[in-house]
Copies of this chain bind each other. A is one copy, B any other.
Amino acid sequence: MYDFVYCAPTKVVFGKNSEGRLGELLKQYGATKALIHYGGGSALKGELLTRVRWSLEEAGVAAVELGGVKPNPRLSLVEEGVALCKAEGVDFIVAVGGGSVIDSAKAIGMALKIDGQPWDIYSGKVKPVATVPVGVILTLAASGSEMSNSSVITNDRIQVKKGCTAEISRPVFAIMNPVLTFSVPPYPTACGCADIAMHTMERYLTGGETMKVTDAIGEDIVRTVVACSKRLLKNPEDYEARANVMWAGSLSHNGLTGCGGDGGDWATHTLGHELSALYDVAHGAALTALWGAWARYVCKDALGRFYSFAIQAMGVRPSGTREEIAMKGIEATEEWFRSIGLPTSIGELGITLDDAQLREMARRCAENCGGVKGSCMRLKERDMYEIYKAAL
């Protein structure tokens, strides 16, 4: 195991009707004027936005609003948000939505505190050291952004998707009411479950050392999410399943599943971001479309990890060689993806790519990650191309 620093200070307020505590929380954090930031779908259902407005009014916190966040959140809307917050003197941002809305809110919050443009943060030109505080009302269990230190923004002028990791970007509070996710349709529910499992798998399936208790927690999270994702296909209003997936989503990406590890592999995320940025694919589906090809490409270099993942997380019976068991684990994972309606190839996303397009995607991927990515195997552009090709 390696040394680590762990700090996940986000206050989680979890349960039925917990969004009713928004005003009280805003007062605790000293907000006087808030930006209510949201997308277009979930936040508007069940009159959630109306209740949010009412809660702020009751708490005496003024508000301005900015909706329209789309999946793979756009830089242009972040810039609009920054301008709005500056003009209105906003001192708190409430993100009502899933990962895209939260990431957009994080970008706005940090950009308000730098001397420069929002993209400077994501291009690496400026290191953010402060933020206007962000609070979350979560309506989609997936990204884990509600407790995480990271955010991803797509520059819609140049079609480049880039992430930023900064401790100061962790939301100060996250209101999580599983009932708010009842209305999420099967496909985005499944994408969310895959994303959650992947956040643990990226940290678990690595070439480096790990820590026993962290491994066990990671295995739990994957097992829980696999089981609950299947329950949710049958009954989208299964409160226990929604709640477990929601909490697993936060735990999977707040740092806990990486304690003692080497920081994780993250090649699948890197490969997936490129696919999402170029072809506007849902994040979770981009991951499952590529994961199997990645796993087969690298598993011989991290056999012990794929072996224990197969047995402990995917429930593969420990008979056969280590290679066979590791491979069965990969197959079981893909079988799970398919069982909840997710693609296991680029073709299943409805995308047909020729060789030139694959090479261009690999080139961009390598360029955007600085030439090399991964822990199981250090992937270069050539490897990325091979994985994309194997995933066709």
A residues lining the B interface (CB < 8 Å): 1-16, 18, 211-214, 216-217, 220-221, 223-224, 227-228, 240, 243-244, 247-248, 251, 259-260
Q: In the complex, how many angstroms separate the beta carbon of A75 from the nearest chain B beta carbon?
A: 31
Given contacts A211-B243, A213-B220, contact A14 B8 (CB under 8 A): no
Q: Is the CB of A7 within 8 A of B5?
A: no
Q: In the complex, how many angstroms separate the beta carbon of A149 from the nearest chain B beta carbon?
A: 12
Q: Is the CB of B15 within 8 A of A251?
A: no
Q: Is the CB of B1 within 8 A of A6?
A: no
Choice from B1, B6, B15, B224 contacting A216 with Cβ under 8 Å: B224
Between-chain CB contacts (< 8 Å), 10 pairs: A1-B240, A4-B12, A5-B11, A7-B9, A7-B12, A211-B240, A213-B220, A213-B224, A216-B223, A217-B217
Q: Which residues on B sit within 8 Å (CB–CB) of A16?
A: 3
Complex Cα spacing A213 to B248, Å: 7
Q: Which residues on B sit within 8 Å (CB–CB) of A211?
A: 240, 243-244, 247
Q: Quickly give the copy total for this chain.
A: 2
Q: In the complex, how many angstroms separate the beta carbon of A265 from the nearest chain B beta carbon?
A: 21
Q: Is the CB of A12 within 8 A of B6?
A: yes
Q: Which residues on B sit within 8 Å (CB–CB) of A217?
A: 217, 220
Q: Is the CB of A13 within 8 A of B18?
A: no
Q: Which residues on B sit within 8 Å (CB–CB) of A6?
A: 11-12, 14
Q: In the complex, how many angstroms separate the beta carbon of A8 from the nearest chain B beta carbon?
A: 7
Complex Cα spacing A312 to B18, Å: 32
Q: Which residues on B sit within 8 Å (CB–CB) of A248?
A: 213
Q: Which residues on B sit within 8 Å (CB–CB) of A7?
A: 9-12
Q: Which residues on B sit within 8 Å (CB–CB) of A213?
A: 220-221, 224, 244, 247-248, 251
Q: Is the CB of B18 within 8 A of A12?
A: no
Complex Cα spacing A21 to B14, Å: 34
Complex Cα spacing A309 to B276, Å: 44
- Which residue on B lies nearest to A259, using beta carbons? B247
Q: In the complex, how many angstroms separate the beta carbon of A125 from the nearest chain B beta carbon?
A: 25
Complex Cα spacing A1 to B240, Å: 7
Q: Is the CB of A259 within 8 A of B14?
A: yes
Complex Cα spacing A12 to B167, Å: 13
Q: Is the CB of A8 within 8 A of B8?
A: yes
Q: Which residues on B sit within 8 Å (CB–CB) of A220?
A: 213, 216-217, 220
- Which residue on B lies nearest to A212, using beta carbons? B244
Q: Is the CB of A247 within 8 A of B260?
A: yes
Q: Which of A7, A214, A223 has the most CB of B within 10 A?
A: A7
- Which residue on B lies nearest to A239, using beta carbons? B1
